[in-house]
Structure 1
Amino acid sequence: MTLAFSPIDLVRPPRIAFGSGTLSAVREWLAARGLKRALVVADGFNAGRIELLGLEGAVEVFGEVKPEPDLPNLEALLAKAESFGPDVVIGFGGGSAMDLAKLAAVLPGSGQSLHDVVGPEKVAGKRAALIQVPTTAGTGSEAGTRALVTDPVTQNKLAVQSLHMLADLAVVDPDLTLTVPPAVTAATGVDAMAHCVEAFTSRKAHPTIDLYALEGARLVGRFLPRAIKDGSDREARAGLALASLYGGFCLGPVNTTAGHAVAYPLGTRHHIAHGAANALIFPHVLAFNAPAVPEKTAQVLAALGFPASSDPAVVLKATREWCAALGCEMRLSAYKVPADDLPIMATEAHAIRRLLDNNPRDMSREDILAIYQAAL
C-alpha cells in the first residue's frame, strides 16, 4: 500500500474566513445564530482592542492569557466562564489565547477537569460555540483540535485533543497582524515553518498534507523576511497568515516531531516564548534529520533559498544563519539557560513520545542533550 492510500482524517473548521477585512464575519456569524453572550479570551494587548470584533449583547473579557499558559491561568479563565455562562467563546490573540479558548468552550459545566481530558478524544462535548481569531501568524491553532497547558508542578505540557474543540468559525484577517513587532513576527513565522517542515518530514507524512506543508514552508521563505523588514507590507502579512493556517492543517492529522519536543522544555522550564523556542531549535533538528529524509530536506532548503544538501553541518549552518538574519536569538545562554539544566531538559524532551516517535530519525536522550549543548 502506498502512502496515498494510507488512512487519514482531514478535519477543518466548517467555515474559514480568510483575507483582509474578513473580521466582520464574526459579527455576522453571531447575529445569524442569535448568540449574545460572548466570552473573549485574549492577552493584555488584544483585550484592549476587542472593539474591532464588533460584538453586541453581553460581553465578558478574560484578558490575562500568559505567553505560556499554565494550569492556574486556565483555572482563572474557567472560573470566569462558569460565572458568566457564555453561549460563544472567542479566542482573540496568538496560540495561547486560542488554546485556552478551546478549553473554555468545553470544560465549564461539564464536570471534567483538565486532567480528566488530557490525551486524545476524552472531552465529553462542546458547551459553547467557538470562534477563533488569530492576531499572529505562527501557531495555526485556529484550524486545530489541540490545546496545550503547562503543569507548574511537573513543568510539562499537558496536551488535550478533541474534535469538540474545533472552531465553528475561524477568521484569519492578516490586517490584525500589522502591529506585530519584528521579533515576534520572526519567532512566530519560524514556528509556522517548523509546523510545516516537521509534518512534511514526519514518519506519518501523507501526500494530502505534504501539499500544505511544502507550500507553507515556501510562503514563510518568501514572505517572512519582507514582513520583518516592513511590518506594513500587507501582502507579506497575508502570506504569513496563510502559511500559519497551512501549518495548522498539518497539526491535526500528522502533527509535529522532534523539533517541538526538544523546544518544549525551553518554555515550561525557562518561560521562553513558544515561537522563540522553536526558532532556536528548528535548524538543529532539521540538520539532525537530513540524512534520513534527504529529498524532503532539499525541498525545505529550496524554500529558504539554499542549494540542496543532506550534510547535517551544511544544513545547520544555512538554516541557523537564516533564522539569525531574521533577528531570532539562536543561543540558549542568551535566555540565561544554565548548562547544568540541560541534562534534565533532555530527559524531559525525550519522554515526549507522542512527538518523538514520529521523527524520521530515532533521537536518543544523548542526541537531544547534544543539540542543547550545541545551542548553548
Structure 2
Amino acid sequence: MTSMTASITLHQPRRLIVGAGTIGDVGGLVSDATSTLVIATPITAGFIERLKLPGKIEIFDAIPGEPDVATLEAALTTARRVKPQVVVGLGGGSVLDVAKLVAVLWDSEQTLADVAGPNKVAGRNVRLIQVATTAGTGSEAGIRSLITDPVKGAKIAVESPHMIADVAVLDPQLTFTVPPAVTAATGVDAMAHCVEAFTNKRAHPMIDGFARMGFRLVGKYLARAVKDGSDTEAREGMMLASYYGGICLGPVNTAAGHAIAYPLGTRLGLPHGLANAIVFPHVLAFNQPVVRDKTTEVAEALGFGASSPDALLENACRFCTDLNIEMQLSCHGAKEDDLAGYAAEAHANRRLMDNNPAEMSVADVLAVYKAAY
C-alpha cells in the first residue's frame, strides 16, 4: 500500500451543492448564459425545467446505458451547431461522462483518439455543470470519462483535470423515482469504487478517508433507499457515498472488480452497476488474504463478518441478494462458452488489474466468472 509520503493529486468540482431541491440553484449560477446544451436521457430530461436555466436551451438525450463512440459523435454534432456557453450533464454516469467529453471537444481540433489516456486534453472553454440523478458512478466528482469502442468491445478511458465540473449538484429528490433494482445495483457500484480504492495497491491514507465514508454510508443507507425510494435521508446518504467513490477514482482508481465487470457491459450488455454488483463479492473474497484488516473493516461496515474467504463470499453475496439483485450471470443471458473470452479480455486490462492487491491469473478471473455463473 502507498505510504503517506507518496505524492497524490486530488481534483474536486469547484463548487459542490448538496441537498433536496438544490437543482433549482443551477440557473442562478449561469444567469449570464445565452446558450446551454443539456446532455440527458429521455427520462432525466424531465428535470430540465427545475434547472431554471436562462437563455436558449438545447437538449441531447440520445444517451444509451453504455454510450459508445457514435453516441459521442452525435452529441458533438449537436454541440457544434448550438455553440453552447454552458454544458449541463443531467443524469447518471453515462450522461455525465458524455457531458465531460462534449465540454472539452466540441470546439477543439482534438478528437477522442487524441485525448484517450491521461492528461492529453488541451483545455476547455465552456462551463460544465454536472447534476447527478443516480447514486452510483460518482462521475460528477471526477476527471475521468469512459466511452465504449464497439469495434474493440472495450472502454476508452479519458482522464484530464480539464474535465472537472465547475459545479456538481447532489439533489436527492432527483433519485426518488430511480427503481429499486437500479438503486441497489448502482449503490453496490458506488461501494465497489470505495472498496477497490481502499484495498488497492495504490491506496493512500487520504483517499482511504473518503473510501471509508463511502462504504460506511452504503452500509447505513442502501437497504433503506431500496426499500423506500422517497427516504430523503437515505437517498442523500447514497449520493454522498457515490460522490466519495468518484473522488477515489481519480488518484487511486478501481482494480480487478471493475476490470472483470467491464466485459459484462461491453460484451453482454449488462448495466454497469449490475455488472459490478455481480462481481463484487467474488473479488472481495479473493483479495481478503492479502488485505485482511481492510476487508474486515469493509465487512463490518456492511453488517457482516469476514472470518474466511468462503464465509466472506457467502455474506457479501447475501448482502446483494437481500437487495434483490440477481447474482447469477446465467440469469442475465450469459453463455458459459463465452466466459473464457471475457476472462482473457478482463485480464488484459492492466490499467485496472495492476492495481489489484492480489495477483490474478487468467484462470483466477475465469474462476470468478464461473462462480458467478
TM-score tier, shorter chain, comes to: over 0.9
Summarize the alignment of residues 32-181 of structure 1 with structure 2, pairs less than 5 Å apart: 34-181=32-179
Alignment correspondent of 1:314: 311
Q: Distance in 2 between matches of 1:247 and 1:201?
A: 13
Summarize the alignment of residues 1-20 of structure 1 with structure 2, pairs less than 5 Å apart: 3-20=3-20
Residues 86-145 of structure 1: CA deviation (Å, up to 9, x unaligned): 111000000000000000001112111111111001111113110000000011000100
Residues 188-235 of structure 1: CA deviation (Å, up to 9, x unaligned): 100000000000000111110111101110100110101111111111
Q: 1:198 aligns with which of 193, 196, 199?
A: 196
Q: Distance in 2 between matches of 1:47 and 1:63?
A: 7
> How far off is 1:312 after superposition?
1.4
Residues 309-348 of structure 1: CA deviation (Å, up to 9, x unaligned): 2x21111100001101101120111111111111111111
Query: TM-score scaled by structure 2?
Result: 0.98
Instruction: Give the AA of the match of 1:351.
Output: A
Q: Distance in 1 between matches of 2:205 and 2:306?
A: 21
> How far off is 1:372 after superposition?
0.4
Alignment correspondent of 1:294: 292
Q: 2:362 aligns with which of 343, 365, 375?
A: 365
Structure 1 range deviating more: 107-116 or 137-146: 107-116
Matched residue SS, 2:30: helix
Q: Do 2:2 and 2:202's aligned partners in 1 also have CA atoms closer than 8 Å? A: no
Structure 1 range deviating more: 192-201 or 123-132: 123-132
Query: TM-score scaled by structure 1?
Result: 0.98
Q: Do 1:30 and 1:36's aligned partners in 2 also have CA atoms closer than 8 Å? A: no
Q: 2:244 aligns with which of 243, 246, 260?
A: 246
- 1:182/1:85 CA distance change after superposition, 3 Å: same
Count of residue pairs brought into register by the alignment: 373
Q: Do 1:202 and 1:360's aligned partners in 2 also have CA atoms closer than 8 Å? A: yes
Q: Distance in 2 between matches of 1:152 and 1:40?
A: 25
Alignment correspondent of 1:23: 23
Instruction: Give the AA of the match of 1:196.
Output: C
Instruction: Give the AA of the match of 1:139.
Output: T
Q: Distance in 2 between matches of 1:320 and 1:343?
A: 23
Q: Distance in 2 between matches of 1:261 and 1:269?
A: 13
Q: Which consecutive unaligned segments of at least 5 residues does structure 1 have? A: none
Alignment correspondent of 1:228: 226
- 1:72/1:212 CA distance change after superposition, 3 Å: same
Instruction: Give the AA of the match of 1:362.
Output: E
Instruction: Give the AA of the match of 2:340.
Output: P
Q: Do 1:216 and 1:247's aligned partners in 2 also have CA atoms closer than 8 Å? A: yes
> How far off is 1:54 after superposition?
1.0
Alignment correspondent of 2:343: 346
Q: Distance in 2 between matches of 1:9 and 1:284?
A: 31
Q: Which consecutive unaligned segments of at least 5 residues does structure 2 have? A: none
Alignment correspondent of 1:278: 276
Q: Do 2:287 and 2:357's aligned partners in 1 also have CA atoms closer than 8 Å? A: yes
Q: Do 2:14 and 2:167's aligned partners in 1 also have CA atoms closer than 8 Å? A: yes
Structure 1 range deviating more: 130-139 or 41-50: 41-50
Matched residue SS, 2:123: coil
Matched residue SS, 1:51: helix
Instruction: Give the AA of the match of 1:15.
Output: R
> How far off is 1:25 after superposition?
2.2
Matched, 1:327 2:324: yes
Q: Do 2:2 and 2:201's aligned partners in 1 also have CA atoms closer than 8 Å? A: no
Residues 160-185 of structure 1: CA deviation (Å, up to 9, x unaligned): 00111000110111111111110000
Q: Do 1:108 and 1:127's aligned partners in 2 also have CA atoms closer than 8 Å? A: no
- 1:2/1:69 CA distance change after superposition, 3 Å: closer
Matched residue SS, 2:108: coil
